[in-house]
Amino acid sequence: MFAVGIASFFVAWGLLRGDPWARKSMIAFTVIGIAIFAIAAALFNFVEIVNIAINGSILAYLFKPNVKMFFSGLPESATKAVPE
């Protein structure tokens, strides 16, 4: 648990900075979380469906175009539309 906490700290730091590797790591963690919660919901109880919904909304947010642009690694001036 300690190692997961340390890894989560570094991913959170990368997300705040807009690092592309942090978005990819968060997508991987979220997909793994959805799989684990789906197995838990099938085996134990259906309360885990709430966790699946939360992880699904995080995953959907990470694939929005403006979020992908933020984590693209490009400077902000390069991502803005240039008026014609």
Give the tens place of pLDDT for each residue, 1-51.
899 899 999 999 999 999 999 999 999 999 999 999 999 888 878 888 899
Kindly indicate the confidence band of residue 59, based on its pLDDT and cuts at 50, 70 and 90: very high
80 three-class SS: coil
pLDDT attached to residue 4: 86
Torsion angle defined by CA atoms of residues 33, 8, 11 and 27, in that order, rounded to the nearest 10 degrees: 0
82 part of a folded domain: no
Give pLDDT, residue 82.
46
Residue 64 pLDDT more than 80?
yes
In a domain, 28, yes or no: yes
Residue 40 lies in a domain: yes
Considering its fold, how many domains does the chain have in total? Answer: 1
Residue range of the domain that includes 59: 2-72
What's the confidence (pLDDT) of residue 61? 95
In a domain, residue 50? The reply is yes
pTM equals 0.78
| Residue bearing tokens 């590797």 | 21
